[in-house]
Amino acid sequence: MVAVAMVSLSLRAVAWQDFSQVEVHSTHVAGNVHLMTGAGGNIGVSVGADGVLIVDDQFAPLAGKIEAALKKLSPGSLKFVLNTHHHGDHTGGNAHFGQQASIIAHANARRRMSGNTPASKPELPVITFEDSLSVWFNGEEIRLIHVPPAHTDGDCVIHFTRSNVYHFGDTFFSGRFPNIDLGGGGDVRGYIRNVAGFLGKIPPDARLIPGHGPLSTVKELREFHEMLVETSGIVERAIAAGKSLEEVIGEGLPAKWKSWEVPSLPTARWLDILYRGLKPKQ
Ligand SMILES: [Zn+2]
C-alpha cells in the first residue's frame, strides 16, 4: 500500500510540473560532447561535421526549448536520438525529434514503450539491438552497451570512445538515491553489480553523465557505489532478521545518507525499493 501511494504521488508530481518555467542549459563536457539540462533526465549531445546526435530527450513540452538550445550549439541537423531506456522523463521528446531523426534503443526499451507494436510511430525507436551497437559519428565510435537488468531491463550505457565520455542513463544517479523500476524489469542486485563493473573499467580522467545529477567522474561513481552497498546491506540484514517494511522505514538510515534524499526520492522511498527488491520471492 505504501509503495502504491508513493508511486502514484510521484506520477502526479510529474503531471503537475509547470514546464513553462524550465530553462534548458548546455555545458561542454569533452571532445564533441555537451551536456544539456532542463527537467528530467540529462541529455548528452554530440555536435560536429556529421551533424547532431542526442542521448535522451526529456519531456514532450520541452522539445521546442531543447531544439532551440541544440541550434545554438550547431547549425547541423539532428540525425540520431539514442534512448538510454524507456522512461518518459528520458523519451518524452521522441514524438517531436523522431520526425527528423532515427531513434535507437534496446529492444526491451522499445517493447516497454510500444507493447511491441510493429507499427512505425515517430516516438518509437526504428533501430533496436540486444547486446551492443555502434554509431560511427562525428569522428568517433559511439557505443551503446546493454547491461543486465539494473534500473530497468532495457538500459544501455553510451560510450563516446574518443571524447572519453560515458552517458549512464539511470544506471547512475550522482549524489542522490536512484529509482530502480522493479515493475519495469529493474533489479537491485543487478543495479549494484553493474555500477561495480563499470568502476573497474572506466579510466580516472573520463567524464560521466549520470541520468540525474551533476556532471561527474569516477569519484562520484565510487561514492554512489559505497552508498548502494552500505544501504542495501542495512536492508538485507533487516530482512534476514525478519523485520517488516514498516519497521525498516521506521528505523531509517544513518544520518550520513540524509543528503542523498531528493523530493521525488526521500529515504522512505529508497528503503521501500531496497526492501521489495531484496526480499526473497515467496
Ligand atoms: Zn528512468
DSSP string, 173-185: BTTSPPP--GGGT
User: Is 55 strand, coil or helix?
Assistant: strand
**Cα-to-centroid distance, 178 and ligand 1 (Å):** 9
Q: Where are the alpha helices (DSSP H) in the chain?
A: 2-16, 63-73, 88-91, 94-97, 107-114, 188-199, 218-240, 245-251, 267-278
pLDDT digit string (tens) for the chain, length 282 residues: 444 444 444 444 455 678 999 999 999 999 999 999 999 999 999 999 999 999 999 999 999 999 999 999 999 999 999 999 999 999 999 999 999 999 999 999 999 999 989 999 999 999 999 999 999 999 999 999 999 999 999 999 999 999 999 999 999 999 999 999 999 999 999 999 999 999 999 999 999 999 999 999 999 999 999 999 999 999 999 999 999 999 999 999 999 999 999 999 999 999 999 999 999 986
Per-residue pLDDT at 13? 47
Looking at residue 200, its amino acid is: G
Which three cell numbers, joined as nine digits, stand for 79?
540525425
**Cα-to-centroid distance, 266 and ligand 1 (Å):** 16
Distance CA 40, CA 132 (A): 25
Distance CA 178, CA 43 (A): 17
Per-residue pLDDT at 14? 52
**Residue 66, class by beta-carbon neighbours within 10 Å (0-12 exposed, 13-18 middle, 19+ buried)?**
buried
**Cα-to-centroid distance, 212 and ligand 1 (Å):** 9
User: Is 146 strand, coil or helix?
Assistant: strand
Strands 102-106 and 78-82: parallel
**Cα-to-centroid distance, 179 and ligand 1 (Å):** 7
Q: Where are the alpha helices (DSSP H) in 74-153?
A: 88-91, 94-97, 107-114
**Other beta carbons less than 10 A from residue 163's beta carbon:** 21
User: Is 61 strand, coil or helix?
Assistant: helix
**Cα-to-centroid distance, 97 and ligand 1 (Å):** 19
**Cα-to-centroid distance, 49 and ligand 1 (Å):** 31
**Cα-to-centroid distance, 241 and ligand 1 (Å):** 31
